[in-house]
Structure 1
Amino acid sequence: MASPERERKRKRDANGHPRPVVPSSSQSQSQSQILKINEKEAGTHPPILASIHGIEIPQSLSFSAFSKKTRVSKHTPAGTKIDARETEYCVKASTVRIDYDGRVEGEDGVSYYVGVYDPETSNVDVYPSPLVHVRRQVRRLKEKEIPEKASTGNLMDSRQALSAAFGNRTSKKALLDEQLNTITTSTLGPTASTSVVSAISSAVDTATASLPTSESLRTGSGNSKYLPPVHADEDGVTVDTVYRIEEMVEARVLDGCIDGVREWEKSVRGGGEVESSISPHYVTSRIRGVIDSGTNVTHRLKILRYIEHLIQFHRLFISAFSNTIFRPKLYDAFTSDDKSITNHLITTFTDSKNQNKNDRQMSKTKLTKLYCWMIILCLKVEEDGKMDLWDLVQDLQIERKEVEMAAREVGARVEGFRDGYFKMMGIGKEESREHRLVALRLPLVFPKNKMLSVRGGRK
């Protein structure tokens, strides 16, 4: 049994005041209130729960709630399909710039309830409550006009509608251009179909008037970017007149080569030898033969001298970076008999790379044109209209296939030599593979256009 002193200390605190009496658990349970939960029907205006994620809503904003009924199809437990009406609850609020819309988005399989507690009766009324998700939208974007055809449900139309509402400046401009260029028979009147077809046909004819036809491509007259004028269809045309030298090189340019030609003639007729440091194979091997032939010597030597300048001009560009040379440096590096020759070569076989026309570039098209013109000029130098490609390939320092392709572009025939020719010339088997005979004969044979042949086969 505890002593009176111990019992006094338990019932009083350190200051001597009595300690508070803590009721037992049985006493507290009897004294607490008993809550009664009542389940209530939702009715027409139930409490609504709102889910808001990532949005900061102003405290002064007030929402208005409304509901709408929709017809749906349901199945009974027996499997019978019946029509029913469901109520969809929504909330809505708006500010000057933003609209807030709350709607039910799918079903997550969870039921939500709101309990209302009455402290006087200790009753809790529980109401079923729908859960809505609040989204926000900028009013300016919402009110922006969307194309009418976006409502058709087409994927392309939907993408255009998105571009109209949220696209950048480039996408909106492209969409506007497409709408402005749209032509329909309803907008043009009862004779619209005929008018549109005739207008398009007229525009196509005008735009393609300068394009080569399939026949001109087969005859070579359409290859204007590579070839000089072709006179293959004229009456009385010969191998010498199918390509005319005056339409390729002006007379004043050929006359500018006369000083070099006179030096050649003086040296050869004096018993000396003439060598070309630019074209040691082709030009050097033909100077004496042209002079000894006695046939149109001066004119053929002028062409031969022009070919020498052309080979030197070609070497400067293929050794330059990106086939481009600055015009003042080109005049310093290129030596010719006359300034008119330099100007002619620059104008005919180069393009300006920039607006000030100082950077001259020999593009792939111009390079092919140079090869084609050189083949034609070389065949005019030859007395019989035939030549071996090997000498020209050596001086141009390119692959034989490129020169051979140019020979076919001008309508010439490329053939192989007979074995007896190589034995007579003392040419070995390995070296003979690079030798090809090029001959210009009428009618000219041009390479067929591959695109035209494919389209013709499909028809």
Structure 2
Amino acid sequence: MAELKRKRTSEKDDRPSKKAAVSAPSTTIKTSLVSEQDELPPVIASTPGIAAPRLAFTPYHYLPANGPHAQTTFQYSNFLLHSSSHPRLDYTARPEPSNAHLSHYVGIYDPSSSSLKLVPAPLVTLRSTLRSETLDAPKDDQAKSFGAQREELGMEFGTKKARKAIASKTENAIAPRRAKTTNAEGTLIKKDAVAEAVLDTVADASANMPGRDELADAAFATKPIPRPNLSATSPAEVYPLSVLIPPADLRSIFVKEWQDKVAADEEITTASRFVSFRVAKVVGDGDVKKMKALRYMLLLLQWNDALRPAGRDGGKKLGKKEEMVKKMSEWNEGLIDGVRKRFADGGELNKWHVDNLMTHIAALSLYIDDWATDTTNLKDDLRLDNKQMNQYFHELGCRVQSLTDKERESLKIASKAAAAQRRIAKLKIPLDFPKVRRPAAKRRF
């Protein structure tokens, strides 16, 4: 005998097997159409693109009081609802001209009298606007353009791609919003609210941005020159001695030997023409800082002579240890190691390091010669031509000029032809740095 299986709970039908009885009206329903009424009718509202909150609306109806077109009854075309209860938005519901040929009705059924009244209900479209735009919008803008109507149709009936494109266009549009304010004299003026908002945003975003001086310092930090003081008011403040010589190295430099020789009227000879021509005068003036600067400059010149050329890009490398010790035997190892760490990268110097060394030597020559130096002796010590030597001084902000007659006489140069081969580098305020040249644009054919 086959067993009857009980249906699972999921297989049971939740709907009742019997239909509920509906009581039919006992009498015939009387239907009537209300064509004219003095009271406000019910309204059917559509909300395209917005989610309408719970708001209290105020109805408005325009009725001309006189004239050939005077109206005394309710007209759906002149009816609208308005609400300003939202803190920032205004909601307005008004009939659309495109729906003028359609009629909508609401049925009101009275079970006590079995009567059904069909009341005309205008179809309105609810839209929201920003209150500032509503106050300042001109009357000419109230009539929608053909393009705006197409966008509305696209939002209602367009494809997903079309709706996304219209929404993106709306989000990226910046419409002028005018805010009325008064100036100090009380005169009414207009300001662009969007422009003010953009300017405020830019001001907030640029509050922490570096200023012009900070950007200039950052630019000079990457150049192979001593860090200049761009706010200096005199040449001596542009490259102070603390920038040209590290304080630790400055304390390790001794000039007692030079002072003793000058006091004994002995001649001081060095491997540098620049140093040899100036040591007696600098020591005789008694300026210890200039003596140490001249001594440190001699160290840099001898260390540069001990380097070997490396590659075609103008780089150099340190020589062998025994060669370096032989050429720099008069200097202590602490000073030599300090120069290596400051101007070399390991055992090599690329083009940037070489230029950095040359500009520091040029800046020391300016310090020793009171910020106006004859470049001839230094050019010979560094084995450079006039163009290269002048370029290093230009990088420091100097003006390189020919000798004047007064300068030629002070340097005791009798021949004008010899004086024409010499140049004077002067550091003046304002500084004259080389202009950045932009590459020429490629020609298009």
Structure 2 length normalisation: TM-score?
A: 0.47
Greater Rg by CA = 1
Structure 1 length normalisation: TM-score?
A: 0.45
